[in-house]
Structure 1
């Protein structure tokens, strides 16, 4: 409690770990909240949670409550899963895919990720997972970063087409992207152009300084 109160004055780092995928990971009390950060950006329970929460509100909480299955690519500390379970009261199945086992260890130890019902966490590469899974999903959340870098495969046709195949009709993709410069904005514009009239695509710029969100609904 003392650390939490002091964190309103200045951040208090309570744990630090090295990771092959994320380099340096820190668990910190910041403004009364426990957050997970990489070296240069927030991974969970800070600005990132605000970004994804806005995206979920764009889709609609009541609509999400009626979904049966959700896929989360990029779990990190599990803040979007917390929002789905505690705020939205989603009771269907959530499958979370995270490549970094150190991140999941921190998520379980500090953020209670292992305490939720109907949540399955898979340690795997997101690209490999979507190739293997035979499930279909009503909502696919893509939130994959290595510090401030986004893997190129997220924007390539093969991955996009596979994600579209895994999405049920009337389901949604929520894609969080980072736009640091002109090339990133151009990349996002090209990504948007890859969806035909079977999809309704909306782009929400400047959600948190450098974040742009896509919501993509599969119409047929």
Structure 2
């Protein structure tokens, strides 16, 4: 508990690991909270949990509570899954897809991800998973980063169309993006333009400084 106390004054690292996917993973006490960070950004808990929680608020906790199937692409430490299960009290099945097994090992040991009921964690590439899955989902959360970088495929039409196909009518996509350059801003504008009148698209800029959130509802 001393580490937690001192973390209100200075971050206190408790574990560090490199993996084939992530060059640096750090579990740190920060302001009394255990967080998971990469080299340059927060991966789980901390600011990321606040960002995704805001997105879920925009969709509506009461609505989410009744969803039967939820897909999380990019699990990291599992903070959004904890928000769904423990705060929103979602009783539906949550499938989390994470490419880095080292991250899931950390999530289980330090954040108790494996103790949350109704959760299935799959180690796989998100792109490969969405090609294989036969399920349809009420909510798809996309939160895929490698440090400060977002894979290009997230913004390509094939991936967007496949995600849309997997989404049930009246379902939602929650997409967390990072805008650090003018090119990123234009990329996000182009992304928004790829949805037709079958979808209701809302963008929430400047969430925790550099993040833009999208909520996308499938109308028909």
TM-score range, shorter chain: over 0.9
Name the residue aligned to 2:178. 178
Say which is worse superposed, 71-80 or 3-12, in terms of deviation.
3-12
Partner of 2:3: 3
* 1:71-220 aligned within 5 A: 71-220=71-220
Aligned-residue RMSD, C-alpha: 0.4
d(CA) in 2 for partners of 1:209 and 1:19? 28
Name the residue aligned to 2:42: 42
Output the TM-score relative to the length of structure 1: 1.00
Q: 4+ residue runs of structure 1 moved beyond 6 angstroms?
A: none
User: Displacement of 1:158 after TM fit?
Assistant: 0.3
Q: TM-score, normalised by structure 2?
A: 1.00
Q: 1 CA distance for matches of 2:174 and 2:10?
A: 33
Counterpart Cα distance in 2 of 1:111 and 1:40: 20
The Cα of 1:60 is off from its aligned counterpart by 0.1
C-alpha displacement of 1:20: 1.4
Deviation at 1:27, TM superposition (A): 0.2
Gaps of 5+ in 2: none
5+ long unaligned stretches in structure 1? none
SS of equivalent to 1:206: strand
